[in-house]
Chain A
Amino acid sequence: MRRLLIAGAVGLMVISLTACEDSGSSSAAQAALQRDADSWAIDQIEKDFHQATTMKDIELMMSLWAPNATFTVGPGETATGQDEIRRFWLEKSIAFKSATHWISDHPGYKVEITVNGDRGTLHFECHYVDYDTGTIAAVTVADQDVARIDGRWLITNMVGGTTTLSP
């Protein structure tokens, strides 16, 4: 009987402690770890982006975009949705032309990533090197909104710009 009473008391104590437990979610350490994991996943977008333009891999490129993403370049040139963006890359970008022999390079220290929950931003600079001539063919920048959709980080909006080659 005494053992049963002790067991009952312990059970009630466990229930009480569970009830009094802080209802906050993950700890700060877990949150920091999650942020690092998200930053790494967003950084992976930038790497895949340059690999896709260098290798002319349109499927890899399109795997980086959300279904209803928007992409703005130049005066009034905005593509919406996967199909338009795919055509945009294939028809209007020199990088995907067969005669183009460019390597897409990028200074890693200029990459800027922010993460807040399931949303973030990504900024990077692109240096396109013509490996036939050994010269830099073009220097561009891209500002992107990214979001975690079904567990994957994807581009939801991108605005292309320009810059001069500088440290």
Chain B
Amino acid sequence: MSNALAPKQRRAAVGGKRRLLSRGDNPLVRAVGHLPANVHTKLLIAFVGTSVLLVAVGLLGLRVLGQSNDRVASLGPLQERAFAYGQLQRDASHIRALLAEYPGRDLYKFWTGISHGERRDVVAVDKAVVNAVARFGPGTAADRLGFIPPPEDERSLVRMRLKAEHLSTLMPRIIELDLLPERGERWLILRQRAERLATDLYQEAAVLANGAIAQIDDLIARNASSYARSRNLFIGVAVGALVLALLLGFVLSWSVIGPIQGIDSRLAAIASGDFAGHVEVENRDELGALAANVNHMNDELRRLYTELEEASRHKSEFLANMSHELRTPLNAILGFSQVLRDEMFGGVNDKQAEYLDDILSSGQHLLSLINDVLDLSKVEAGQVELDVRPFSLREAVEGGVVVVREQASEDGIQVSFAADPDADMVEGDERRIKQVILNLLSNAVKFTPAGGKVDVSTTRVNGEVRISVTDTGPGIAASDRDRIFDEFQQTDAGVEQGEGTGLGLALSRRFVELHGGRIWVDTEPDAGSTFVFTLPAKAASS
């Protein structure tokens, strides 16, 4: 229970390091988990939200395109107007320039470097002015312009028309004076008026033309500015939508994955026998319900496991006690039977001797069974303490070989032992290791038919000491390979032989595992068996 902090404690513990985008314990993820909706609804809302953002971006793009289209559409008429007004400006400039061809006397005082014009030239140029003015007036009408001018432009155009008419009435009088030998002050004043009118025409036309061009420039500038603003806005909204979508995806996924990981960790702990903790999922959806059920299952399993442990302990205690109570009278039976069989207190007939042998044989079998049960009970009850010290593995194996060799010889089985000098001295409980070796050798001899052989070997492999017992017996079926190491499990051949208790291999495995080693069998039906067990490197020294 020590690792199962309450949620508030956990949050306080990580509070200093908590970040908004930390995966598991962050406020956004927790808040989404707290929403009272099922996972399906949450996912649906997220997808709809993202879709709405995409639609918003699309609508925004359409709006920007529409505005741009409107501006482009208004640019055409404006250019047409600017061109027409520009033409008026050029015509007015032409008139003004013609009148400047023969300016008044003061100009020659100022521009001493320019030449004076001839009289006939004056008439010709002034007639050209008349023609130009005659063309200018009608050019201000809407039908000649090619469009209906706006009201404010129309007022300027009317003024220009009136001034052009005034100029056209003035020019014939100037031409009359052009032809006189002495033009006089009157001529000069009329020319000044004509120049003033031409200047006015020019300024009016320039204002119109420049105004139209300015509007075009402004439209283009506004279009460029609007494009930049729209582009930035579009990018901003798109980035915002992307960030929001990522945030939604992150938060939703972790509001689902976080609880699943927590539940997975708890289930893994339960599978390994740890019922101490609880999974903390604050979601108010299916995952929250699942976590609650996992916790309920955890509690129920813990209760059952505790009960089972208690029952197992009672069983082991019972077996240990019973084994002890059984062995005491059995020793008396065996001892007195042996005394009678040895005829220490007088002779027995053949029948009596035969019955005494049966008593001794059955008693030995029962004692062996009781000893195994007692050992197993001690192991399960955790009462076995290994007496670890260095011993010669070679001598231990040779001792076992000696024990089984007599029986093997009687059955016509050859027993051999190959010892690796590098795998001689090991550290462990010599008595328990000898018990394992003897068990494997006894099994090998028992299941090997006459004429067969049993090979024992020791080797050092990857820092481990490996002890192998190989026989030429019937082998073991694949379905039996794992269960033969469990308590009271025997192969069909073992059952048929009617010997053994089904505890030898189970005890061997317990003893090997107590030393930190492994035990297994390599076997195929009708191809013999090789039982192997190891002692780990830390327990082995050469």
Which residues of A are in contact with B by a Cβ distance under 8 Å? 1, 4, 8, 11-12, 15, 18-19, 23-25, 72-77, 91-95, 112, 114-121, 123, 128, 137-141, 143, 145, 157, 159-164
Contact = CB atoms under 8 A, between A and B. Distances in A.
A73 B105 contact: no
21 contacts: A19-B63, A25-B225, A74-B101, A74-B107, A75-B114, A77-B114, A114-B203, A118-B214, A119-B206, A119-B209, A128-B110, A138-B107, A138-B110, A141-B195, A157-B93, A159-B96, A159-B100, A160-B107, A162-B107, A162-B191, A163-B106
Contacts of B203: 112, 114, 121, 123, 143
B211 interface: yes
Contact of B121 (A75, A93, A164): A75
A93 B111 contact: yes
Nearest to A97: B112
Contacts of B217: 117-118
- Classify the interface of chain B: helix, strand, loop or mixed: helix
Given A92-B114, A123-B203, A138-B110, A164 B188 contact: yes
Interface residues of B, number: 58
B40 interface: no
Contacts, number: 153
Interface in B88-121: 93, 96-97, 99-117, 121
Nearest to B70: A23
Given A118-B214, A145-B206, 20 more contacts: A15-B237, A72-B100, A73-B107, A74-B101, A74-B108, A74-B114, A75-B101, A77-B111, A92-B111, A116-B213, A117-B213, A117-B214, A119-B209, A121-B203, A138-B109, A141-B195, A160-B100, A161-B104, A162-B106, A163-B196
B512 to A, nearest CB: 58
Contact of B60 (A19, A75, A163): A19
Nearest to A18: B233
Contacts of A91: 113
Contact of A116 (B104, B115, B207): B207
B199 interface: yes
Contact of A114 (B27, B102, B210, B236): B210
Nearest to A163: B192
B112 A92 contact: yes
Nearest to A162: B104
B222 A162 contact: no
A157 B63 CA distance: 43
Nearest to B108: A74
